[in-house]
Amino acid sequence: MASIANDPNRRKRILFTDGDGERKTIRLGVVSVKDAASFRLRVEAILSDQRLNRPHDAELCEWLQNLPDDTYAKMVRVGLVEPRERAEAVTLGALLDRFHAAAVVKASTQAAYRQTTGSLREYFGVEKPVESVTTSDADEWRKTIADSGLATATVAKRVTIAKSVFRKAVRWGIIPTSPFADLRAGSQANADRSHYVSPETIRAILAACPGDEWRAIVGLSRFAGLRCPSEIRLLRWGDVNWERGRLTVRSPKTAGHDGHAVRVVPIAPELRPILHDLFDAAEPGTEAVVPRLSGRAGGSANLRTTLHKIIAKAGERPWPRLFHNMRASCATDWVERFPGHVVAGWLGHSPLIAARHYLQTRDAHFDLATGATGTALESGAKCGAPEAQNAAQHPTAPDCTGSPESSETSCFAGVSQPDASECEAAAGGNNGRNRTRTCDFIHVTDAL
One-letter amino acid of 58: A
Q: Does residue 87 lie within any of the structural domains?
A: no
- Rounded percentage of the chain residues whose pLDDT exceeds 70: 73
- The answer to whether residues 67 and 104 belong to one domain is no
Strand 23-30 relative to strand 11-17, pairing? antiparallel
Which positions ≥6 away from 189 have C-beta within 8 Å?
Answer: 153, 356, 357
Q: Does residue 437 lie within any of the structural domains?
A: yes
437 — pLDDT class (breaks 50, 70, 90): very low
Contact at 8 Å (CB) between 202 and 218? yes
Q: Does residue 49 lie within any of the structural domains?
A: yes
- The answer to whether residues 59 and 168 belong to one domain is no
pTM above 0.85, yes or no: no
Which positions ≥6 away from 414 have C-beta within 8 Å?
Answer: 263, 264, 265, 342, 344, 345, 346, 347, 348
- The answer to whether residues 170 and 26 belong to one domain is no
Mean pLDDT of 202-210: 96
Q: Does residue 210 lie within any of the structural domains?
A: no
Lowest mean pLDDT among 220-229, 263-272, 348-357: 348-357
Predicted confidence at residue 167, as pLDDT, reads 94
- The answer to whether residues 172 and 267 belong to one domain is no
The candidate with the shortest Cα–Cα distance to 261, out of 107, 108, 414, 426, is 414
Which long-range contacts does 77-80 make (Cβ < 8 Å, 24+ apart)? 78/18, 78/24, 78/25, 78/26, 79/18, 79/24, 80/43, 80/46, 80/47, 80/50
Contact at 8 Å (CB) between 375 and 367? yes
Predicted confidence at residue 192, as pLDDT, reads 72
Edge-to-edge strand order for the sheet containing 240-241?
A: 240-241, 246-250, 262-266
- The answer to whether residues 223 and 176 belong to one domain is no
DSSP 53: T
- The answer to whether residues 56 and 99 belong to one domain is no
DSSP string, 140-167: HHHHHHHTTT--HHHHHHHHHHHHHHHH
Q: Does residue 203 lie within any of the structural domains?
A: no
List, for residues 109-128, the tens digit of each pLDDT value: 899 899 999 999 999 999 99
Predicted confidence at residue 257, as pLDDT, reads 52
Give the number of other Cβ atoms within 10 Å of residue 178's Cβ: 21
Mean pLDDT of 6-13: 92
- The answer to whether residues 289 and 397 belong to one domain is yes
Distance CA 435, CA 427 (A): 10
Going through 193-261 in order, the beta strands assigned E by DSSP cover 240-241, 246-250
Residue 27 φ/ψ, nearest 5 degrees:
-85, 120
Q: Does residue 304 lie within any of the structural domains?
A: yes
Distance CA 190, CA 221 (A): 20
DSSP string, 261-330: SEEEEE--TTTHHHHHHHHHHSPTT--BSSGGGGSTTTT-TTHHHHHHHHHHHTT----SSHHHHHHHHH
Mean pLDDT of 435-443: 37
Mean pLDDT of 178-197: 82
What's the total number of domains in the chain?
3
237 — pLDDT class (breaks 50, 70, 90): very high
Does residue 371 or residue 293 have the better pLDDT? 293
List, for residues 351-400, the tens digit of each pLDDT value: 555 455 555 555 554 555 555 555 444 444 444 433 443 443 333 334 43
Distance CA 291, CA 421 (A): 20
- The answer to whether residues 130 and 35 belong to one domain is no
Domain region containing 48? 2-77
Q: Does residue 207 lie within any of the structural domains?
A: no
Predicted confidence at residue 381, as pLDDT, reads 43
Q: Does residue 322 lie within any of the structural domains?
A: yes
Q: Buried (b) or exposed (e) across 141-168, using 16+ Cβ within 10 A? A: bbeebbeeeeeebbbbbbbebbbebbeb
Asked whether residue 146 carries a pLDDT value surpassing 50, the answer given is: yes
Query: At which of 23, 47, 77 does a domain end?
Result: 77
